[in-house]
Structure 1
Amino acid sequence: MRIQPDDLTGPEIAVLLQEHLNDMNAVSPPESKHALDLTTLKASDISFWTIWQQQQLAGCVALKQLNTRQGEIKSMRSATAFRGQGLGKLLLQHVITEAKNRGYQQLFLETGAMDYFAPARALYKDFGFEPCAPFASYKEDPNSVFMLLQL
């Protein structure tokens, strides 16, 4: 497996991100959907990485800079064929290391409160993330869980 920066121009990533958006649309009400589309992920304050097994795209993760001391994890996703193989741990460790290297003191994320997101919440908890209040422009939402890792 190799993790590399990605410019979001390849057809494989477009398919994976559309799959991600489709799943979010299926499980989250519109007012509670915070997944970013391909165009939004190209913003200058977002860094994006993909993980590959040989020539197959296995997953992705993004890091959004909130300010010089804080970042937010966005668009962490394992491709369906690679679920249950520990990619989430690899991607999460990568983005935490990157946040530390940037000098961030806090790393935030928003995920769903529904059962569909239970494995993600468990993974984040295993890495030391704790529930927190809404951050940045998020508002209190019964369908969202906000989490924070002090770095």
Structure 2
Amino acid sequence: MGVFVWTAMQIRVDDLAGPEIRALLEEHLRHMHEVSPPQSVHALDIAKLRRPDVTFWTAWSPGELLGCGALRELSPRHGEVKSMRTVAAHRGRGVAAALLEHLITKARRRSYERLSLETGSQPAFAPARRLYQRFGFLGCAPFGDYVEDPNSVFMTLRLPAA
């Protein structure tokens, strides 16, 4: 199956107030708790996604939520990818790749030198790890407030100066 090309996808900053995004984030948190031990769940809830150091985007195709992703500022030169999630009906169709490309572009515009992320080490997270590797993310040591965890994979992407 080939990647679906979204000709009408719109990615926009989201205030997290809509019922569609609330449902997707609830599903995201529920799934994280199903596949990871509680101490290894690092997904942010809606309140934490509204903090001033986080910018949250959603992807839409006319009237339909496709997915979401966020960028958290760890420092003026280091950002973190958070809350990447694609609506189940649209997985494997390029939504996550479009969102990740958007986040990387925003990170470059913010003059970040590095963009990092934490994802799971379990098989359920293999598609996400492949996506990140495809965009050039490499394994790294824990960053920010993270600590070594056998259930976590830490990855980073160096962003050369423009």
Query: Is 1:17 paired with 2:22?
Result: no
Report the Cα distance in structure 1 between the residues aligned to 2:86 and 2:150, rounded to whole angstroms: 25
In the alignment, what sits opposite 2:109? 101
SS in 2 for 1:60: strand
Kindly state the Cα deviation for residue 81 of structure 1 after the two structures are TM-superposed: 1.0
- TM-score, normalised to structure 2, is 0.92
Alignment of 1:64 onto 2:65: no
Do residues 138 (structure 1) and 135 (structure 2) align? no
* Structure 1 position 4, deviation (Å): 0.5
Name the counterpart of 1:77.
Answer: 85
Is 1:7 aligned to residue 11 of structure 2?
no
Instruction: Write the letter of the residue equivalent to 1:136.
Output: G
Residue identity (%)? 56
1:51 correspondence with 2:46: no
Deviation for aligned residue 1:112 = 0.1
- Unmatched segments (≥5 aa) in structure 1: none
How far, CA to CA, are the matches of 1:18 and 1:56 in structure 2? Answer: 17
CA RMSD of aligned residues (A): 0.4
Q: Secondary structure at the match of 2:49?
A: helix
List per-residue Cα deviations over 1:23-59 (Å, max 9, x = no partner). 0010000010000111110000000000001101110
Which amino acid is the alignment partner of residue 20 of structure 1? H
**TM superposition shift of 1:67:** 0.5
Query: Which string of whole-angstrom CA distances, capped at 9 and with x for unpartnered residues, describes residues 96-119 of structure 1?
Result: 000000000000000000000000
How many pairs are equivalent? 151
Specify which of 116, 137, 154 is matched with residue 129 of structure 1. Answer: 137
Distance 2:75 2:48 in 1: 18
CA distance in 2, matches of 1:24, 1:121: 15
TM-score w.r.t. length of structure 1: 0.99
Which consecutive residues of structure 2, in runs of 5 or more, have no partner in the other structure? 1-8
* Structure 2 counterpart of 1:56, one-letter code: E
